């Protein structure tokens, strides 16, 4: 259970953390790295095997964005249904259906390669590193990748996003839910984790429904608003730099680079290597 006031506070906390982090990278990292981040730069190894021998370093990576569209629509509908707080309602109720759905959503978030790559690149830019076109998310030991390569980097730079990740992510929860090793104890209002062994100080045996709801909101709203905020920054890009032509360092191979202009079409929300030709009607 969570009250509307508590949920609103979490919502605002996440939005504040993302605003701080986006402002930080825009002010502190090199312009072209920030712009490649907004342009969804990605390394597509499969392009090397194409007959046309396409450059595998692409921008405007719509392929991954399209994969998330249905999940985003589901999430919005889910939140409207269970966290919409209709008139006269000041808190959520704890029902098994909602909780079971949340466990699946939580697992999808912290197992999502795209989400983890986005967070990794975001964290890396706060460390003023060059944009990483090819991010490899490990198949196992994701907890170390999330803690050391993402959360601790935000923390080292004094950014609130570190606290948001700490309040949302817990590897015991992710492991138990991913392998269906849990029990919903409605009588005691707890989720029991069958993965608990007690070998590590961070391992937990159970979590109360109330504490779980907070972790779910910190994780799900971070996932949702990260993409939302990035979209808003894209739409603002031309105005921020007073141009639709943005100079980047574009890899040709893993060892060769060239300076290129990319162009952002703020009407259709896409990037390309050629300026958009608009015709008056």
Name the residue ranges covered by the structural domains of the chain: 4-236
pLDDT, residue 88, reads 80
pLDDT, residue 211, reads 97
Which residues of the chain fall short of a pLDDT of 70? 278-281
Q: Strand runs (DSSP E) across the chain, as ranges?
A: 42-43, 57-58, 182-185, 190-193, 206-208, 245-251, 257-265, 270-272
Alpha-carbon distance values, 164 to 107, 139, 196 (Å): 17, 23, 24
pLDDT, residue 280, reads 56
pLDDT in tens, 121-132: 999 999 999 999
pLDDT, residue 202, reads 76
pLDDT, residue 277, reads 77
């Amino acid at each position: 259970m969570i009250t509307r006031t508590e949920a609103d506070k979490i919502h605002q906390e996440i939005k504040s953390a993302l605003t701080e982090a986006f402002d930080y990278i825009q002010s502190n990292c090199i312009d072209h790295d920030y712009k490649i981040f907004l342009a969804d730069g990605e390394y597509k190894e499969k392009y090397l095997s194409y007959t046309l021998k396409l450059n595998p370093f692409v921008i405007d990576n719509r392929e991954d964005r399209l994969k998330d569209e249905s999940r985003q629509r589901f999430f919005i509908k889910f939140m409207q249904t269970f966290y919409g707080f209709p008139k006269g309602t000041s808190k959520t109720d704890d029902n098994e259906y909602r909780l079971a759905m949340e466990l699946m959503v939580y697992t999808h978030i912290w197992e999502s390669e795209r989400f983890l790559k986005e967070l990794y690149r975001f964290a890396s830019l706060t460390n003023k590193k060059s944009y990483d076109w090819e991010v490899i998310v490990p198949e196992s030991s994701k907890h170390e990748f999330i803690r050391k390569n993402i959360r601790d980097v935000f923390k080292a730079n004094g950014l609130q996003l570190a606290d948001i990740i700490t309040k949302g992510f817990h590897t015991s929860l992710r492991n138990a839910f991913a392998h269906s090793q849990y029990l919903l104890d409605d009588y005691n209002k707890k989720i029991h984790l069958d993965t608990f062994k007690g070998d590590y100080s961070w391992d937990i045996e159970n979590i109360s429904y109330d504490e779980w709801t907070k972790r779910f909101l910190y994780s799900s709203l971070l996932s949702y608003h990260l993409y939302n905020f990035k979209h808003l920054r894209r739409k603002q890009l031309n105005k921020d730099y007073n141009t639709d032509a943005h100079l980047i360092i574009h890899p040709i191979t893993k060892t060769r680079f060239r300076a290129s202009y990319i162009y952002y079409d703020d009407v259709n929300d896409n990037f390309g290597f050629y300026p958009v030709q608009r015709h008056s009607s």
